[in-house]
Amino acid sequence: MHYYFFTRLNLSRSFVITMIVLVLLACGKQSSKPGPQQQTGNLKLAKIERDAGTYDSLFYNNNGDLARLHTHIEMSSTGGYDEYYTFQYNAARQLVKITEDAGDVYDYTYINGQLAAVQHYVNGIKRDYRIFYYTGNKVTSIEEYEKPLPTYPGYEYTGVRDFAYYPSGNLKQEIYYTIDPSTAQPRLDFKVEHEAYDDKFNPAELTDRFTYMSSITKSLNNITRRTVRNAQSGVVVAQEFSYTYNTQGYPLTSKLTSTVHPTGLLTKYHYY
């Protein structure tokens, strides 16, 4: 089951959705094309520590692909809680399922080697799904559909995210839209400008792309400057990122500073 370069430039949305629905209902042979590696270099990312005690611990299978993710989210009032995710792959090393211990399941569908759709189930009921559009090998748009209530007979088109990239392959722009339920037209919510990067390996990409992004790499390097514009309120937030590195050029720490976080938010990366 693979993705056939559907783009909204030359195919209607209804045709794309129809084709993907047919794929989701069918059983097909998976491509033998090797899936993209989830991390390059000699070191494996073992843990990401964030401010206030929140962290991610990462565990790998014999192929070096992420197999288990333990996320601890610290809450000052309750002491926090834990989430555990298990990752399953096909013979081509493409991610096909993520299972969260509490019961959430994410199923991944591919067409022509590219991620076409992700379906999210809660207690066995499909609650939402996303459809992916490409230009070449880069995802340029994601449509979001949700079931408002478990008993609702269908799904509503609720949002869309558009992406643009630099020639280097790093993400340049993200635009977030909410779909107006009365007109079915997109309403601009946020615009995020990724203005500058370093030239080092980006370890955060490994966890940032889950649970929906799967093998899609948005940025190979580390963002150093970003501007977030709220189209509804008019608020603009400029964010600066600074890093320290080990001798191999892997980030050891990153610090985010902005008007919202003037003292900075520190993230630490651990490898083995």
**pLDDT tens-digit map of 56-79:** 999 999 999 999 999 999 987 777
At residue 197 the predicted structure's pLDDT band, cuts being 50, 70 and 90, is very high
Task: Give per-residue burial for 71-101: e unless 16+ CB within 10 Å, then b.
Answer: bbeeeeeeeeeeeebebebbeebbbbebbbe
Closest C-alpha to 114, from 97, 98, 138: 138
Going by their DSSP bridges, the two strands 114-122 and 105-111 should be labelled as antiparallel
Residue 56: predicted pLDDT: 92
Across 148-165, average pLDDT = 92
Residue 226: predicted pLDDT: 96
Map out the domains of the chain as residue ranges.
Answer: 13-30+44-271
Residue 42: predicted pLDDT: 76
Gap between the terminal Cα atoms of the chain:
35
Residue 41: predicted pLDDT: 55
Per cent of the chain over pLDDT 90 is 67
pLDDT of residue 246 exceeding 90, the answer is yes
CA dihedral 18, 185, 135, 143 (to 10 degrees): -60
Q: Which CATH architecture has domain 13-30+44-271?
A: Beta Barrel (2.40)
Residue whose pair of structure tokens reads 């969260």 in the numeric block: 100
The string of pLDDT tens digits covering residues 91-136 is: 999 999 999 999 999 999 999 999 999 999 998 999 999 999 999 9
Residue 4: predicted pLDDT: 27
Of 35-39, 65-69, 82-86, give the lowest mean pLDDT range: 35-39
Residue 149: predicted pLDDT: 86
At residue 32 the predicted structure's pLDDT band, cuts being 50, 70 and 90, is very low
Report the alpha-carbon distance of residue 231 to residue 175 in Å, rounded: 10
At residue 170 the predicted structure's pLDDT band, cuts being 50, 70 and 90, is very high
Q: Residues 6 or more apart from 5 whose CB is under 8 A from it? A: 112, 114, 134, 136
Report the alpha-carbon distance of residue 35 to residue 95 in Å, rounded: 8
Across 225-249, average pLDDT = 96
Instruction: Kindly report the average pLDDT of the chain as a whole number.
Output: 83
Report the alpha-carbon distance of residue 103 to residue 4 in Å, rounded: 31
Going by their DSSP bridges, the two strands 125-135 and 138-146 should be labelled as antiparallel
- List residues bridging with 194 in a β-sheet: 226
∠239-240-241 over CA atoms, to 5°? 125
Residue 213: predicted pLDDT: 63
Q: Look up residue 88 and give its DSSP letter.
A: E
H or E element at residue 13: helix 13-25
Across 192-220, average pLDDT = 82
- List residues bridging with 215 in a β-sheet: none
Of 94-98, 172-176, 202-206, give the lowest mean pLDDT range: 202-206
Residue 30: predicted pLDDT: 35
**For the ranges 38-42, 111-115, 173-177, the one whose mean pLDDT is highest:** 173-177
pLDDT of residue 184 exceeding 50, the answer is yes
At residue 177 the predicted structure's pLDDT band, cuts being 50, 70 and 90, is very high
User: CB of 250 within 8 A of CB of 261?
Assistant: no
